[in-house]
Structure 1
Amino acid sequence: MKIREEFKVREMAGEHVIVMPGRGGAADMTRIVSLNPSSMYLWEKLRGREFTAADAALLLTERYEVDADTARKDAGRWIASLAECGIVEE
């Protein structure tokens, strides 16, 4: 899977958010997804390349003190959240 190129991260009021593209190329500021620090880390590492849930889980175990099972679950939830919003493509 891959993060779709048209989605951009912006910093707003000290938070990182994914801004959904709107009609006519303008950003739809009514539809944003907030990223916590670990989500932002995954976004930075995985944006622009193909990845799997296992790739995301490995990144989490390398950066944080988390066991592999928890990292797999967290990575799966992160991907599911992005997929639900149409941010990742197969």
Structure 2
Amino acid sequence: MKIDREFVLREIAGDYVIIPTGKTVLEFNGLITVNEVGVSLWNMLQNEITFDELVQGILDEYDVEESVAREDIQEFLDKLVDGGILTKDGNDAK
């Protein structure tokens, strides 16, 4: 899975938001606000990465139970996929 390059993360007044750029502005209505963990996930998703690698990255960086991390990461990824922000391939594990 990997982030579509038509979307960027920006810090605006202390908040982090994912916004569309280019032609995507016409297709995507809105923006997505993310927290510190979302920023970490976004940064990891700049390169091809698996779900398990995302989980391990969050576990290494934050004090969180693995089951909670998996659930929260999946929810975040689902929002990105639903918005057309994240592309997934058949090799991604949940």
Asked if these proteins are the same fold (TM beyond 0.5), I'd say yes
Gaps of 5+ in 2: 89-94
Runs of 4+ in 1 over 2 A off after TM superposition: 25-28
Gaps of 5+ in 1: none
Q: Give the alignment of 1:1-90 within 5 angstroms.
A: 1-21=1-21, 23=23, 31-47=30-46, 49-90=47-88
Identity, % of aligned positions: 30
C-alpha change, 1:26 and 1:80, in structure 2 (3 Å) is: closer
Report how far residue 45 of structure 1 moved.
Answer: 2.4
**TM-score (normalised: structure 1):** 0.82
**TM-score (normalised: structure 2):** 0.79
Number of residue pairs the alignment of both structures matches: 88
Structure with more contact order per residue of length (Cα contacts < 8 Å, sep ≥ 6) = 2
